[in-house]
């Protein structure tokens, strides 16, 4: 019989990292900064979704290089990051599609050949409930991309014109704040983070 003091082990918190366009050096430093705080990391959205559905706290941390408040031609001068606790759910939205698109391919082809049905019926617009998986923000911040002074051994192609390099510890501090805040920070309108550029791609 279990002891009254026995309790389930605490689940390891997970950071879902998105960082398209960053160098391998930055990715390595970011991963180690997260691991040093005791967190696991994943780089695929589907993994983050399933872990959260299983009860694991997940913070999404997006430090992709294409996050820039200033449009072209001044790209790169006003970069930022997005960090926040997320919740996994099935998309509740009603989406528009066609009757034919909802049928198996073989059935769609068969009905298209039927003179009493044809393409007109199959192209009829219908509304269906989406079952797409999505991650929505529970809290959210979008601070400027963090930099710190480069150490002598870091004065390489990674440093910018001011001899600064990406500050992975500041990024980890923001993740800490997101975990600590829980649902107490105001959440923005629900939206679906883009599924493109998963992992380092």
- Name the residue ranges covered by the structural domains of the chain: 11-90+133-201, 94-129
Summarised one tens digit per residue, pLDDT across range 127-170 is 666 677 889 899 999 999 999 988 877 756 565 667 888 999 99
Global pTM?
0.70
Question: What does the pLDDT average to over 55-69?
Answer: 93
Summarised one tens digit per residue, pLDDT across range 179-195 is 999 865 444 433 333 43
CA distance 133 to 79: 28
Summarised one tens digit per residue, pLDDT across range 16-46 is 999 999 999 999 999 999 999 999 999 999 9
């Amino acid at each position: 019989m279990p002891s009254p003091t026995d309790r389930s082990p605490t689940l390891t918190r997970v950071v879902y990292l998105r960082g398209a366009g960053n160098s391998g050096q930055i990715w390595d430093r970011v991963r180690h900064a997260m691991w040093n705080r005791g967190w696991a990391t994943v780089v695929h959205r589907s993994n983050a979704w399933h872990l959260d559905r299983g009860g694991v706290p997940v913070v999404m941390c997006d430090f992709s290089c294409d996050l820039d408040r200033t449009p072209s031609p001044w790209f790169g001068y006003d970069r930022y990051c997005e960090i926040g606790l997320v919740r996994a759910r099935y998309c509740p939205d009603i989406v528009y599609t066609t009757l034919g698109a909802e049928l198996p391919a073989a059935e769609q082809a068969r009905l298209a050949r039927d003179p009493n049905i044809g393409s007109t019926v199959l192209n009829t617009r219908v509304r269906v409930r989406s079952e797409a998986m999505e991650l929505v923000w529970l809290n959210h911040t979008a601070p400027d991309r963090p930099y710190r002074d480069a150490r002598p051994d870091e004065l390489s192609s990674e440093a910018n014109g001011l001899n600064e390099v990406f500050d992975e510890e500041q990024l980890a501090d923001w993740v800490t704040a997101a975990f600590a805040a829980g649902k107490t920070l105001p959440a923005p309108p629900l939206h679906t983070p883009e599924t493109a550029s998963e992992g380092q791609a």
